[in-house]
Copies of this chain bind each other. A is one copy, B any other.
Amino acid sequence: MIDQSTSNKARLLISCSDQPGIVASISEYLFNHGANIIQSDQYSTDPEGGMFFMRIEFALPEFEERFHSVREDFSAIAERFHIDWRLESERRTKKMAIFVSKEDHCLLELLWRWRSGELQVDIPLVISNHPDLREIVESYHIPFYHIPVTKETKAEAEAQAEKLIKEHKADFIVLARYMQILSSDFVDTFEHRIINIHHSFLPAFIGANPYKKAFDRGVKLIGATAHYVTDDLDEGPIIEQEVLRVNHRYSTEELRVAGRNVEKIALARAVNWHVNDEVLVHKNKTIVFN
């Protein structure tokens, strides 16, 4: 795995109205700052007047000295083209908070990928509405906070979670089979920074008990969907989906057991793309550059 702390790579992400000269201006700009473009992806919703999205990964020799000037000087271009942008240094490792309930498969997949270096994040904390997974989490030397949630204490519990997230400076939140619906306020605070795994192939089987519904409907494939959380339950921008073949012999319980393996894979992929700044959100859809 890469030693991120000495990486000289950065990523520029851009959204704006499509207009002539954007690519030329940006690539000239980067060249003038001594950046060497490693990878570049772009997408236009409509080449004749739609939205334009771009992700450029570049290497920057003498990173320390130059990175800040690259960032500061970019505002002139951004203004000219009315660009919505962000610049991310690979040296700054993102901090990921994980929310769990009782099921451990998604949590363990993330922890394993993190420890193996496949998922390059810091995990400053895990929050759960149940105490069950404390031992596992702490065995990885990660702080575990048990915040029970009832109808009455929900607002307070969310306030407590938000406080912890801010104290630990987490950049984004992964709901790794967290079985509580978050309030609009909480969701808005972390817009496009909460990733959920829904245990169905959305938009099929929205809501509770998707495996029961899949069993009742007699589907021949089950799925899982990783998406950003919005106010509309299970309606947020989809990042990744995966499916698995099943048949009439699967009981609801067996669908649930088999489904765990697609849930954890779809979630892990989505988290990885988010961490690598490969996902842009536009309205209710994602552009995934990978």
Contact A23 B37 (CB under 8 A): yes
Q: How many copies of the polypeptide does the oligomer hold?
A: 4
Assuming A37-B23, A40-B42, is B105 touching A218 (CB within 8 A)? no
Asked if residues B218 and A201 are in contact (CB atoms below 8 Å), the reply is no
- 22 of the cross-chain contacts (CB-CB < 8 Å) are A20-B31, A20-B36, A24-B27, A28-B28, A38-B44, A39-B42, A39-B44, A40-B40, A40-B41, A43-B249, A48-B59, A104-B112, A116-B257, A118-B260, A202-B204, A203-B219, A217-B285, A219-B238, A221-B243, A245-B245, A247-B288, A248-B287
Which residues from chain B contact A287 at a C-beta distance below 8 Å?
248
Identify A219's interface contact among B20, B219, B241, CB under 8 A: B241
B220 touches A240 (CB 8 A): yes
Report the interface size for chain A: residues with CB under 8 A from the other chain: 59
Within 8 A of B (CB), among A12-34: 20-21, 23-24, 27-28, 30-31, 34
- Nearest B residue (CB) for A227: B218
Determine whether the beta carbon of B30 is less than 8 Å from that of A24.
yes
* Residues of A241-267 contacting chain B, CB below 8 A: 241-243, 245, 247-249, 257, 260-261, 265
